[in-house]
Chains A and B, each alone.
Chain A
Amino acid sequence: EAEVAQSPRYKITEKSQAVAFWCDPISGHATLYWYRQILGQGPELLVQFQDESVVDDSQLPKDRFSAERLKGVDSTLKIQPAELGDSAMYLCASSLRLAGVDTQYFGPGTRLTVL
């Protein structure tokens, strides 16, 4: 069964350093999402792509976060500089619309710890 791939699974960094996360969605899924999840809470949408275009980045802290999906397939989320409050799980998801219904499938996530 096709899955969303993410790497790395774990990342430890010091504050003020740059970090990058990679996501490869399920083949054929045009929509890709990046979420941040604080322990015990539901995921919070950071950015949503439709193919290579950003359709929603209203919750993305653009002073330090950037995301791209250049060829409309895989995607990279970058944080520069990282801050202590960025410690969280970063989840990537992709979706395919069938019969008018979008269902998201998630990757395993990247657990970021900022020291």
Chain B
Amino acid sequence: TQLLEQSPQFLSIQEGENLTVYCNSSSVFSSLQWYRQEPGEGPVLLVTVVTGGEVKKLKRLTFQFGDARKDSSLHITAAQPGDTGLYLCAGPTSGTYKYIFGTGTRLKVLA
């Protein structure tokens, strides 16, 4: 069974702190997407990473795809209350069309 495990599962921090969320698998992925989901809404795409070792920046968010394309990380600098939400990684395993989602990281940023 192909799994995407995210850690930590829950994270509560103060505004202005930095944090990193991890997404790990034993399988190789052809690409990985990161989504943020707010309560009662659908996931919103943040970024797609494709190349092993790739780093992408979206304002205060930095995404990295592992060299072997089995893991990814999301780093948030100077977190703000608006960053609060459920962060999900997802992607198709290499050679398949089947998308799998990570277990999710629920982030709460306190003002």
Contacts and interface: CB of A to CB of B under 8 A. Distances in A.
A42 B99 contact: no
Interface stretch (A12-20, A68-76, A97-105): A97-105
Contacts of A104: 33, 45, 90, 99
**Does more than half of chain A's interface fall in helix, strand or loop, or is it mixed?**
strand
B31 A40 contact: no
Contacts of A33: 99
Contact of A43 (B44, B92, B101): B101
B55 to A, nearest CB: 17
Interface stretch (B14-22, B35-43, B62-70): B35-43
Contacts of B31: 101-103
Interface of A: 4, 6, 33, 40-45, 48, 55-56, 89, 91, 93, 100-109, 111
8 contacts: A4-B42, A41-B103, A42-B103, A43-B43, A43-B88, A43-B101, A45-B99, A106-B35
Interface of B: 30-31, 33, 35, 40-45, 48, 50, 86, 88, 90, 92, 97-104, 106
Given A91-B43, A102-B97, 10 more contacts: A6-B42, A41-B104, A42-B104, A43-B101, A48-B97, A48-B99, A102-B99, A104-B45, A105-B45, A106-B42
